[in-house]
Amino acid sequence: MADLWHTFVALLTDNLANTAWIIVVGSLTNVACALLGCYLVLRRMSMLGDALSHAVLPGLVIAFLIGGKFSIGPLLVGALAAGLLSTFLIQALQHRGGVSADASMGVVFTSFFALGVLLVSRNLSGVHFDTACVYEGELDQVVIDTVAVGAWEIPRQAITLAPVLLLNLGVILLFWKELKITTFDPALATTMGISATAMHYLLMTLVSLTTVASFEAVGSILVVAMLITPAATAHLLCDRLSRMMMVAAGLAVACAVIGYGLSKTFNTNTAGMMAVVAGGLYGLTVFLSPRHGILSTIGRNLRTSLRILREDLLAMLFRLEEMAVDRSLGSGEAIHAVGGGLLARLGLFTLMRQGQIESQTTGLRLTERGREKARHLVRSHRLWEAYLVEHLGLPQDHVHNPAERMEHFIGPRLQSDIAEKLIETDTDPHGRKIPDEGKGRMKDEG
């Protein structure tokens, strides 16, 4: 592992000028795509980036046939025209033809892409049109095609992509409110006088422009990974659009740096490795995201289950005390009563460690602290039973199970609200006494 790391660092620092320019071009491409990708992900239009990246191919070929050379100006115009036409057709099929969104995208982009392939095979057989560049990108070759700017030799791709990134950033800042509202609530935007359709076509124009500008760097297929994956990763980490965009941009730069180093280490395509790194970061985030990750979700579910088991143990011992049962439960009986298993044993152990339950020679007993917590739970249970019978008209024999589930999620404030709405707050529908509020508001012990 140490040798691999040293190789990785050596490849990054070898011929530093070329390395820096490749990473800069990759970063410009990735960030330009990631900023727009945040809107695509939030609008649930992730596949539209894939559709546009394929649908612009016939526009590229037609522009190349008309211009006769690989010039970025005509190619941008052709790609934009094809992208906007495909967007219009997708919208028309969806809203006027009654076709679902995913089906309309599938029909349009496959048709456009097939048309582009036919145009390439039929008309460009004797012409130099680098299809590998269009599909896979030539990120490693950007340092060869340079433009002199003063004393600097700057890659042409950097000169192409930097204005595209600035344009994307400028449009986002200028139409921040409009894009945000139409992304989250297009109906509200329409009532406020903001055209959701205009914002949609503006966004699609930027996506088409960014897609074609990225062809030489990452290709028409791999650009989809940069449009969606950093934004999707940031979406798992953030709940605010502004923060999501900053995180997506940071991840996009990280993909460029790490992807370049790994591509040289394993002698693979640089753009492809950037996409792999982006997918790897997304996979890690799916597991490790502090709020939406799989591990954090499992942890929250386990903590909730453990809390409910602890509370069930407390409530059970409270009811036994209330009934003045002569004999107490032993540890094994108590664990079995709440379902048994490792989680029940852990729940009993933590209650004893927290000083809410103590073990005596006669069995388990509630401490004063545990009794206060248990009183709160039983009060919640019986208040909810009374509310269900009095206000919802449920039969008495149908209220125990829902009250048993709800008692774990009723706080002191909701307890007071329920009590205020009840005519009789001394007993539950079964005639059992509803405990008073106790010494104070209870807090979950975690």
Q: 58 and 46, same structural domain?
A: yes
Whether residues 300 and 280 share a domain: the answer is: no
Q: Per DSSP, what are the bridge partners of residue 146? A: 155
Q: Is a pLDDT exceeding 80 seen at residue 357? A: yes
Which residue in 162, 157, 143 sits closest to 19, CA to CA?
Answer: 143
Q: Is the dihedral of CA 214, 101, 275, 120 positive or negative?
A: negative
Q: Cα separation of 324 and 210, whole Å?
A: 76
Residue 270: pLDDT above 60? yes
Is-contact 148 160, C-beta < 8 A? no
Other C-beta atoms within 10 Å of 53: how many?
28
Kindly state the average pLDDT of the residues 127-139: 59
Estimate the share of the chain in helix, then strand, then coil, as percent rounded to the nearest 5: 75, 5, 20
258 lies in the same domain as 312: no
Instruction: Check pLDDT > 70 for residue 220.
Output: no
- Is residue 238 over pLDDT 80? yes
Burial classification of residue 440, based on how many CB atoms lie within 10 Å of its CB (0-12 exposed, 13-18 middle, 19 or more buried): exposed
Alpha carbon distance 149, 165 (integer Å)? 19
Q: What is the largest CA-CA distance in the chain?
A: 99
Q: Which CATH number characterizes residue 103's domain?
A: 1.10.3470.10
pLDDT band for position 323 (50/70/90)? confident
CB-based contacts of 392: which residues, under 8 Å, 6+ apart? none
Same domain, yes or no, for 241 and 368?
no
* pLDDT value at 280 more than 90: yes
The whole-number pLDDT of residue 3 equals 59
Rounded (10°) angle between helices 72-95 and 46-55: 130
Number of compact structural domains in the chain: 2
What is the pLDDT averaged over residues 79-90?
83
Q: Which residue has the tokens 């753009």?
A: 271
Q: Which residue has the higher pLDDT, 106 or 11?
A: 106
170 with 267, same domain: the answer is yes
Across the chain, what does the average pLDDT equal? Answer: 83
Sign of CA dihedral 34, 36, 42, 47: negative
* pLDDT for position 443: 45
Residue 91 has pLDDT above 90, yes or no: no
Phi, psi of 164 (to 5 degrees): -65, -45
Contact 316, 338 (CB under 8 A): yes
Both 243 and 348 in one domain: the answer is no
Q: What is the mean pLDDT of residues 17-45?
A: 90
Report whether pLDDT(442) > 50. no
Adjacent-strand bridge partners of 149 = 152
Q: Which of the listed residues 254, 289, 324 is the one where a domain comes to its end?
A: 289
* Pair (271, 303) in one structural domain: no
List the end-to-end C-alpha distance of the chain, in Å, as a whole number: 40
* 92 has a pLDDT exceeding 90: no
Domain containing residue 37: 2-289
Q: Write down which residue in 258, 289, 320 finishes a domain.
A: 289
User: DSSP state, 148?
Assistant: E
Rounded to an integer, the average pLDDT of 41-51 is: 82
Mean pLDDT over 216-235 rounds to 84
Same domain, 131 and 246: yes
Say whether pLDDT at 446 is over 60: no
State the amino acid at position 286 in one-letter form: V
- Output the domain CATH number for residue 361: 1.10.10.10
Q: Which helix (H) or strand (E) holds 168?
A: helix 156-174
Greater confidence (443 vs 206) lies with: 206
Confidence of residue 127 (pLDDT cuts 50, 70, 90): low
Dist CA 197 CA 30 (whole Å): 26
Q: Where are the alpha helices (DSSP H) in 393-411?
A: 400-406
Both 284 and 311 in one domain: the answer is no
* C-alpha count within 13 angstroms, C-beta hemisphere, residue 120: 18
pLDDT tens string 282-312: 999 999 998 888 999 999 999 999 999 999 8
The predicted structure's pLDDT at residue 441: 46
* pLDDT bracket for residue 235 (50, 70, 90): very high
Predicted pLDDT at 172: 96
In terms of pLDDT, which residue wins out, 310 or 2?
A: 310
The whole-number pLDDT of residue 29 equals 92
Same domain, 240 and 328: no
Mean pLDDT, residues 136-152 = 77
- Listed residues 268, 289, 310: the one ending a domain: 289
Q: What pLDDT, on a 0 to 100 scale, did the predictor assign at position 50?
A: 73
- Segment 56-73 shows an average pLDDT of 75
User: Residues 285, 314: one domain?
Assistant: no
pLDDT at 318 over 60: yes
Torsion sign (Cα): 244, 245, 248, 250: negative
Torsion, Cα of 79, 81, 82, 86 (10° steps):
140
pLDDT of residue 258: 93
Q: What is the pLDDT of residue 217?
A: 75
Q: How far apart are CA 369 and CA 433, in angstroms?
A: 21
- Which CB contacts under 8 angstroms, 24+ apart, belong to 416-425? 418/383, 418/384, 418/386, 418/387, 419/383, 421/387, 421/391, 422/383, 422/386, 422/387, 422/390, 423/390, 424/386, 424/390, 425/383, 425/386
- pLDDT tens, 359-417? 887 788 888 999 899 999 999 999 999 999 988 888 988 888 898 888 898 888 888 88
Q: Is the pLDDT of residue 272 over 90?
A: no
Q: Are residues 171 and 227 in the same domain?
A: yes
C-beta of residue 261 within 8 angstroms of C-beta of residue 13: no
